[in-house]
Chain A
Amino acid sequence: MQSVALWFATFLLMVIMSVPGLWVVLSAFRPNREILAKPPVWVPTELTLANFGKIFGFGSEQVGIPVTSYFMNSMIIALTSTVIALIIGMAGGYAFARYRFRFKGGIFLGLMLFRAVPGIALSLPIFMIWSRLGLIDAKMGLIIVYVSLNVPFTIWLIDGFFRQIPMSLSEAAQVDGCTRWQAFWKIEFPLARSGIAAAGVFAFLTSWNEFALASQLTRSTDSKTLPVGLMDFTAQFTIDWAGMCAMAVIIIIPALIMTFLVQKHLIAGLTFGGVKG
């Protein structure tokens, strides 16, 4: 009896937690006039893909927001910065996990503290410097910034995963004639691969979802990302709720896929890195 009540309470909590997101997803498939209707229409009478057609620029109705190019920009920027951050983070994480050197704790803490600088505060000097360097409204400008956003956390996670792997494995390989480089790629990298993938997903999500810096460093379809593009809707005369919901769904789908792919490793990565020092 008690356990049924417990299960019910938890279930209820989860429903409350997921209703806001589900409501946005549902509204993306409803016509705007039904969303605006008074008294409210609770049971949708018609579901439509028109909102998606509208924001992607086909169908009878159109909105003047180039979602397709925002989507491409977001993809290019998020993927490129993730790959670069992973390479840098793997090197750094390996150094922290496998070597002793001076100021080790200090450097680690320093990297973390740099990550803590608020995006909007960092955007001011970067805005000034990037405009001198011609990096405003360029994908490259945003990629560089996102690499630096992701490096500290990637190092933290990957350090944790490399530490899980006993050092004796790669030592044995080296005794058998591998170089340390070979031992890394043949022994340690395959074992840490799932953890590295998890770190990659975190980096991707950070870049994909970032707004504070992107909103100041991008101007046009050359570099604007989806979160910045979502704000385009608010500049219009009347708010197109259905269109915004459709765009929200577009933003959430890649994040959803990425997260589910490595769900298990995400939690492990977060806790290993932090607890076992």
Chain B
Amino acid sequence: MSRAFQTGRVNWTPVLLLLPAIGVMMFVVALPLVFSLYTSLTSYRLTRPETIWDFVWFRNYERLFGNRDFWVAFGRTILFLTIALNVQLILGLGIALLINKITWGQRTLRTIMMFPMMFSPILVGFQFKFIFNDNIGILNNALQSLGWTDRAIPWLVDGKLAMFSIIFAEVWMSTSVFAILLLAGLFAMPRDPLEAAKVDGCNAWQVFRHITLPFLMPFAFIAMTIRSLDIARAYDIVKVMTDGGPAGRTELLWTMIARTAYQDARMGQANAAAYLSTILSIAFTYYFYLKLVESRRYMGGVQ
């Protein structure tokens, strides 16, 4: 088969093998993105279909950049991601180091750790809506039964507490990705450098800082790259738990896009915001992919 396609210097077999993948991505992602870019330059409203031909250049973007609510949601999204991802990385590292030390029951612990990974984000959101409910939630019930407080703490009603609850749900959902990959890194670690360092008189912290941590970096970057592919899944969690409320205090970029598009029917405006969120996500993935490639090159000799 390959002979027939080897005309000239180009080998057509890989091209043919990749064609379906590239085709489906073009049809379902690239083409819609082009359409989305065009729509973001029109004043398109779902309620008035003819407005899709009303080309307004960058008016939607100008409005967006002049809108305080947008910047607040944008800043909150960045803050949310920064806090959530850092907490996930640090907690994941801690859990991986703990489980690595344990010999009895390690398999069971690893299995339990995988538990949150199979949860749908919509389920995670519902689960914590249930737990953080001010009236019947297990958390408030427990606090009251223990006598630590006698009032119902408004976990999902107060703006700051609601943001905390959402971050908590996000951390619960995705810490295990970091823990599992970092644990795999610890398992793959060669013993010799560790022992050599101990012979040379390094203390535990020095070994961790200069041997374990550099070795784990590629694994941390894989985890970050994988996570960066679906950071926007946090939309599902927020949608269930607070839907951006109370009074927009937990509004993230993604809930704002959905609201502008489907409730206000302002598709042009929503597409402009959607485009910015797309660029944000792609930049994020690209950054960590580069980091991954770089650290892989650095590790070249070891692997």
Contacts and interface: CB of A to CB of B under 8 A. Distances in A.
A17 B116 contact: yes
Contacts of B24: 88, 144, 147-148, 151
Nearest to A14: B112
B13 interface: yes
Interface string A103-131: 00001010111111111111111111100
Nearest to B276: A121
Contact of B36 (A21, A36, A125, A151): A125
Contacts of B211: none
Given A18-B112, A211-B120, A263-B111, A125 B218 contact: no
Interface in B133-157: 135-136, 138, 141, 144-145
A99 B18 CA distance: 11
Range for the number of chain B residues in contact with chain A: 35 or more
A111 B235 contact: no
A208 B233 CA distance: 14
Given A40-B141, A124-B270, A209-B122, A14 B13 contact: no
Interface stretch (A46-54, A56-64, A189-197, A241-249): A241-249
A20 B99 contact: no
A266 B118 CA distance: 12
B28 A126 contact: yes
B212 interface: no
B172 interface: yes
Interface residues of A, number: 96
B22 A121 contact: no
B185 A20 contact: no
B118 A122 contact: no
B130 A92 contact: no
B303 interface: yes
B229 A115 contact: yes
A214 to B, nearest CB: 9
A121 B225 contact: no
A91 interface: yes
A259 interface: yes
Given A99-B13, A111-B25, A256-B118, A271 B185 contact: yes
B123 A117 contact: no
Contact of B39 (A98, A123, A125): A125
Contacts of A145: 28
Interface string B103-122: 01100010111111111111
A227 B278 CA distance: 24
Contacts of B102: 3, 6-7, 10
A76 interface: no
Contacts of A109: 286, 289
Contacts of A248: 123, 126-127
A107 B128 CA distance: 39
A10, A109, A153 — most chain B CB neighbours (10 Å) = A10
Contact of B114 (A114, A119, A179, A259): A259
A266 B101 CA distance: 22
A191 B144 CA distance: 56
Interface of B: 1-2, 11, 13-15, 17-18, 20-22, 24-25, 27-33, 35-36, 39, 95, 98-99, 101-102, 104-105, 109, 111-123, 126-128, 130-131, 135-136, 138, 141, 144-145, 172, 176, 180-181, 183-185, 188, 218-219, 222, 225-226, 228-229, 231-233, 235-236, 239-240, 254, 257-258, 261-262, 267, 270-271, 274-275, 277-278, 281-282, 284-286, 289, 292-293, 296, 303
Interface of A: 3, 6-7, 9-11, 13-14, 17-18, 20-21, 23-24, 27, 35-36, 38-40, 42, 87-89, 91-92, 94-95, 98-99, 101, 107, 109, 111-129, 144-145, 147-148, 151-153, 155, 179-181, 205, 208-212, 215-216, 227, 230-231, 234, 241, 244-245, 248, 251-252, 255-256, 258-260, 263, 266-268, 270-271, 274-277
Closest 10 CB pairs of A and B: A118-B232, A209-B120, A148-B28, A125-B32, A274-B222, A121-B274, A99-B14, A95-B17, A125-B36, A116-B285
